[in-house]
């Protein structure tokens, strides 16, 4: 296969800083440019290769947990194919595949392998920071009372992370009351979110704390009714009303400054 490729083509591909592979019609790696070879050399241990050149002749199915799905995409012929793979629970790769056609004849496929591991790690860090800022857990003037002001669009993933974090904070602060403030929530479009909020509530109450809701807007109440979300939890129009209730329950035991 390699010998049949015009040297002008391979020389051109070698000049590119992208990781380019040529895949033959049997879905095996038949050639790679210098950039790709250097890249494979850096991860050869994970690929169980002694050297990058050993990748030649290897089926691309080894890089996908569902090889038949990958082959079906190539046979379907809807190019370019753009996919993202997690490899060895360590690397994140973006693969772009196009047909490799020479003088009107299909010789195989051109695969561009971009390592986006660091980009994805930065995205995860950014998302974690956004989640931290959009769902802080704050102490209040009332003793052993925590406030959770929810901001932005609620998602099941966010609620699951918040539950874990909140349980730790309840234990750390020996919380008697937890106020969930929904006044900053912009979107509630999934009926399953009601179940997640209830799960959070039940988990916190198993820790011995009473959960109070506050800050529901009229729009959010309508959304909850439309989605069939029901709750028997004690609710207040605002945080101000909720904290007054807590202070009264505590017998005006205010937290020392």
* Enclosing H/E stretch for 212: strand 210-214
Stretches where the chain sits below pLDDT 70 are 1-4, 118-120, 124, 126-135, 188-189, 227-230, 252-257
Q: For residue 80, say if its preceding peptide bond is cis, omega within 30 degrees of 0.
A: yes
Count the neighbouring beta carbons within 10 Å of the beta carbon of residue 155. Answer: 16
Q: Quick one: pLDDT at residue 243?
A: 95
The tokens describing 232, both together, are: 């028997």
Three-state secondary-structure class, residue 62: helix
Please identify which residue in the block is written with the tokens 């050993």: 54
Based on its alpha-carbon atoms, the radius of gyration of the chain, rounded to whole angstroms, reads 28
Query: CA-to-CA distance for 212 and 197, rounded, in angstroms?
Result: 12
Q: Quick one: pLDDT at residue 31?
A: 94
Domains of the chain with bracketed CATH: 2-115 (3.30.450.20), 124-249 (3.30.750.24)
How are beta strands 105-115 and 19-24 bridged, if at all? antiparallel
Q: Which of 156, 155, 181, 186 is nearest to 243 (CA)?
A: 181
Q: Quick one: pLDDT at residue 212?
A: 96
Strand partners, 141: none
Q: Quick one: pLDDT at residue 8?
A: 86
How are beta strands 138-139 and 145-153 bridged, if at all? antiparallel
């Amino acid at each position: 296969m390699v010998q049949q490729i015009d040297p002008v083509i391979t020389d051109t591909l070698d000049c590119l800083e992208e990781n380019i592979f040529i895949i033959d019609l049997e879905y095996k790696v038949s050639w790679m440019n210098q950039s790709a070879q250097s890249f494979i050399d850096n991860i050869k241990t994970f690929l169980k290769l002694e050297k990058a050149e050993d990748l030649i002749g290897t089926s691309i199915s080894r890089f996908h947990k569902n090889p038949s799905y990958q082959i079906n995409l190539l046979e379907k012929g809807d190019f370019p194919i753009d996919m993202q793979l997690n490899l060895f629970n360590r690397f994140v790769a973006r693969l772009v595949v196009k047909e490799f056609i020479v003088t009107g004849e299909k010789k195989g496929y051109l695969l561009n392998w971009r390592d986006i591991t660091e980009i994805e790690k930065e995205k995860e860090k950014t998302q974690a920071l956004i989640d931290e800022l959009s769902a802080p857990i704050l102490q209040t003037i009332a003793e052993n009372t925590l406030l959770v002001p929810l901001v932005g669009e609620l998602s099941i993933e966010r609620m699951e992370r918040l539950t874990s974090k909140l349980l730790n904070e309840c234990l750390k602060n020996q919380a008697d009351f937890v106020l969930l403030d929904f006044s900053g929530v912009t979107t509630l479009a999934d009926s399953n979110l009601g179940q997640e909020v209830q799960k959070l509530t039940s988990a916190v109450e198993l820790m011995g704390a009473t959960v109070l809701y506050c800050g529901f807007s009229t729009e959010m109440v309508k959304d909850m009714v439309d989605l069939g979300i029901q709750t028997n939890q004690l609710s207040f129009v605002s945080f101000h009303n909720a904290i007054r209730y807590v202070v009264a329950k505590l017998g005006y035991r205010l937290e020392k400054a």
